[in-house]
Amino acid sequence: MTSSDVVIVGAGPAGLKAAVYLGRAGIDACVVDEYPVAGGRLLGQRYRQRGHWWVGRKVAQELLDSLSACPSVRLLLHTSVVGLSREDDRWQIRLSGADGNIEAKAVIVATGASEVPIPVPNWTLPGVMTVGGAQVMANVHGVRPGQRGLIIGLGALSFAVAQELAWANVELAGIVLPPFGPPFRWLGSVDEQWSRLVHWMHLAPIWMRPLQPALMRPQWCRRIMAAAPRRGLAVAGTRLRPNVRALRIVGDDRVQGVELVPCQGDAEPSGKPWVEPVDFVCLSGGLRPVPDIVKAAGAAVLESPGGLYDVPVSGPLGETTAPGLFVAGNVLGIEGAQVAMAQGQLAALGTVCWLTHSPDRSLEQERAFLAELEEARRKTLILFDPAWPEVQCRAEQAWRSRGESH
Residue 345 falls inside a structural domain: yes
pLDDT of residue 49: 67
Residue 121 falls inside a structural domain: no
pLDDT at 323 over 80: yes
In angstroms, the first-to-last Cα distance of the chain is 36
pLDDT of residue 102: 94
CATH number at 222 reads: 3.50.50
Distance CA(93)–CA(101), nearest Å, equals: 6
Answer yes or no: do 361 and 372 share one domain.
yes
Residue 123 falls inside a structural domain: no
Answer yes or no: do 84 and 144 share one domain.
no
Q: Kindly state the helix (H) or strand (E) to which residue 49 belongs, with its residue range.
A: strand 46-49
pLDDT of residue 333: 92
pLDDT at 181 over 80: no
Give the DSSP letter of residue 145.
S
Answer yes or no: do 231 and 280 share one domain.
yes
Integer CA distances (angstroms), 212 to 85, 142, 199, 205, in order? 49, 36, 9, 12
Residue 181 falls inside a structural domain: yes
Distance CA(113)–CA(109), nearest Å, equals: 12
pLDDT of residue 201: 61
pLDDT at 371 over 90: yes
Q: pLDDT averaged over the chain?
A: 87
pLDDT band at residue 373 using 50, 70 and 90 as cut-offs: very high
Backbone angle region of 188, left / alpha / beta, with phi > 0 → left and psi within -120 to 50 → alpha: left
Q: 285, 312, 340: which is the final residue of a domain?
A: 285
Distance CA(204)–CA(344), nearest Å, equals: 32
Answer yes or no: do 145 and 268 share one domain.
yes
Give the DSSP letter of residue 319.
B
Give the DSSP letter of residue 179.
P
Distance CA(377)–CA(372), nearest Å, equals: 9
- Domain range for 273: 128-285
Q: Kindly state the helix (H) or strand (E) to which residue 185 belongs, with its residue range.
A: none
Share of the chain above pLDDT 70, in %: 87
Cβ-based neighbour number of residue 111 at 10 Å: 25
Residues 316, 346, 43: CA angle, nearest 5 degrees: 125
Number of domains in the chain: 2
| Each residue's pLDDT tens digit, 201-222 | 666 666 666 766 766 676 767 7
Distance CA(234)–CA(217), nearest Å, equals: 22
Answer yes or no: do 28 and 100 share one domain.
yes
Answer yes or no: do 397 and 321 share one domain.
yes
Residue 153 falls inside a structural domain: yes
pLDDT of residue 269: 74
pLDDT band at residue 117 using 50, 70 and 90 as cut-offs: confident
3-state secondary structure 66-112: HHHCCCCEEEECCCCEEEEEEECCEEEEEECHHHCEEEEEEEEECCC
Q: 269, 285, 301: which is the final residue of a domain?
A: 285
Distance CA(42)–CA(55), nearest Å, equals: 8
pLDDT at 404 over 60: no
Residue 188 falls inside a structural domain: yes
Q: Which residues contact 153 (CB under 8 A, 6 or more apart)?
A: 118, 131, 175, 177, 178, 187, 283, 284, 285, 286
Answer yes or no: do 152 and 278 share one domain.
yes
pLDDT of residue 56: 85
pLDDT band at residue 85 using 50, 70 and 90 as cut-offs: very high
CB 198 within 8 A of CB 212: yes
Residue that wins the pLDDT comparison between 21 and 396: 21
CB 20 within 8 A of CB 70: yes
Answer yes or no: do 74 and 217 share one domain.
no
- The Cβ-side half-sphere exposure at 323, using a 13 Å CA radius, reads 9
pLDDT of residue 405: 53
Answer yes or no: do 155 and 70 share one domain.
no
| Burial 230-265, CB ≥16 within 10 A → b, else e | eebbebbbbbbbbbbbbbbbbbeeebebbbbbbbeb
| Each residue's pLDDT tens digit, 271-298 | 899 999 999 999 998 889 999 999 999 9
Show the DSSP H helices in 231-362 as ranges: 292-296, 337-355
Overall average pLDDT of the 109-128 stretch: 93
Distance CA(237)–CA(241), nearest Å, equals: 13
Residue 321 falls inside a structural domain: yes
**One-letter amino acid for residue 253 of the chain:** D
How are the residues of the chain apportioned to helix, strand and coil, as percentages rounded to the nearest 5?
40, 25, 35
| Each residue's pLDDT tens digit, 21-64 | 999 999 999 999 999 999 998 888 877 766 677 788 899 999 99
Q: For the purposes of burial, counting CB atoms within 10 Å of the CB of 286, is it exposed (0-12), middle (13-18) or buried (19 or more)?
A: buried
C-alpha closest to that of 307 among 316, 319, 295: 295
CA 393 to chain centre: 18
Residue 105 falls inside a structural domain: yes
Answer yes or no: do 353 and 210 share one domain.
no
CATH number at 32 reads: 3.50.50.60
Answer yes or no: do 138 and 273 share one domain.
yes
Q: 234, 269, 285: which is the final residue of a domain?
A: 285
| Each residue's pLDDT tens digit, 133-176 | 999 999 888 899 999 999 999 888 898 899 889 988 999 999 99
C-alpha closest to that of 90 among 78, 101, 79: 101
pLDDT at 99 over 80: no
